[in-house]
Chains A and B, each alone.
Chain A
């Protein structure tokens, strides 16, 4: 079943055309990597899907519901590109940050109950940070911080997760472990849609690649048919690690 459907989507900022007539479909259980050079509109595309921005024309359906009417935000999760840009001296523990993720499910006037606390512990465990639950988030490494945001996204048991460049600015080992984590989540049934520059995750974990180009077009291919040479000609990044 198609869990996300984008049809003839166009979008411009006042001074710049970003997407033109973009169409693609994501099936339940897919692991999609969105690639393209800087500024081609990858983050913008996620924001359009999540209804943070309004399309000029075209149609977006999440679980068969037009995105404008979609309101079950506890079923989909989003880790924004700016997630790790928080104030590093902010006194908050991993557990406190992950608990904030409960809000999209519980809403206002809610007192966290035993089952909410359990969901938080489980999400922290899922990303392998149980022993860091009481640590301040600003003291963790970049890779661990990114895992905290993944845990925050997982706390409501979503069936779809969007990530915007979760591997930027962290070391190669941490990149691998985040990608493996996402691979595991995908195997467990969560649809993963990730903007990335990291070619190895495209090769090892994703089954589909959506390539955005500078003229505003998008092209979805199978990861298998997507060879690294095509990637190199489109990305001016040198992250080619498979040699």
Chain B
């Protein structure tokens, strides 16, 4: 196989490896906090950012990052003022993102380009986007490492963490920003519509067999790595959409693993 000799394939691989590390790192906490819908809302807002970016002629990944962060702040803000309605906050932001994406997608100069953000594409990653993805991924990984203890404590017991002096609000805020970055970085390669699946499925697999928080974190990265790389190659060889292929491989593995659930 010499598909690796193509520049676009090398770029796709590098970005895929980065995505397979950062997505489950975020996904772990999202799953354990039972916040899966937030990942969905942010990825759809990212899509709105993509549409507006393409419409304005700006880089779509950067506008996606900006839009997801605004969406993340909006969710936090709505949640703070109407604490009983956090579900609604997420749903409203998701709908708003979908609305904007739908309206502007009809106005973008190159509709095919917009479509690559829905289901992912490996041929379209530019060198600039690869560097953006690399820098943002490194920021995410370092932040997650630094906040490892805080994130574990908050995820396990938020009240207890606050009492022990963990700056819960700040850490939660940083985490939401990281989530926004991850969904935007992953949008190009795997597609906005499947990012939240990519956050959740590797974690679901690792939760079946792991016996500690630490191994769960490591294993979810290993699973995501396997799914992403194999999905990427299968999608190239059979000319399939990468995002969907990655997710379907993940689900197949999950189904195989279910009988091995730890007792």
Q: Is the CB of B159 within 8 A of A80?
A: yes
Shortest Cβ distance from A108 into B: residue? B150
Q: Evaluate contact between B152 and A80: CB separation under 8 angstroms.
A: no
Which residues does chain A contribute within 8 Å of B212, judged by CB atoms?
A: 91-93, 96, 134, 136
Complex CA–CA separation, A57 to B153 (angstroms): 33
Give the size range of A's interface with the partner. 20 to 34
Check if A103 sits within 8 Å of B213, measured CB to CB: no
Within 8 Å of chain A (Cβ to Cβ): is B211?
Answer: yes
Min distance, Cβ A146 to any Cβ of chain B, angstroms: 14
- Interface-facing stretch out of A26-34, A81-89, A193-201, A213-221: A81-89
| A-B contacts, 8 listed (Cβ < 8 Å) | A73-B165, A90-B32, A91-B212, A92-B156, A100-B152, A100-B156, A108-B167, A136-B211
Do A97 and B149 have beta carbons less than 8 Å apart? Answer: no
DSSP majority for the A interface? loop
Q: Does A107 contact B (CB under 8 A)?
A: yes
Could you tell me if A96 and B163 are in contact, using CB atoms closer than 8 angstroms? no
Number of A-B residue pairs at CB separation under 8 A: 70
Q: Chain B residues near A136 (CB, 8 Å)? A: 211-212
Residues in A whose Cβ lies below 8 Å from that of B216: 91
Q: Is A11 an interface residue (CB 8 A)?
A: no
**Is B99 positioned at the interface, with any CB of A under 8 Å from its CB?**
no
A residues in contact with B166, CB < 8 Å? 103
Main SS at interface, chain B: helix
List residues of B (108-151) whose CB comes within 8 Å of A's CBs. 146, 149-150
B47-82 vs A, Cβ < 8 Å mask (1 yes, 0 no): 000000000000000000000000000000000000
Chain A contacts of B161 at CB under 8 A? 100, 103
Question: Is B214 engaged at the interface, CB distance under 8 Å to the other chain?
Answer: yes
A201 to B153 Cα, complex, angstroms = 31
Known: A82-B159, A91-B210. 9 other contacts (CB 8 A): A50-B163, A73-B164, A87-B34, A90-B155, A91-B216, A100-B152, A100-B161, A103-B149, A110-B149
Within 8 A of B (CB), among A112-159: 134-136
**Residues of B with C-beta under 8 A to A97:** 156
Whether the Cβ atoms of B152 and A101 lie closer than 8 Å is no
**Option from A83, A100, A134 in Cβ contact (under 8 Å) with B164:** A100
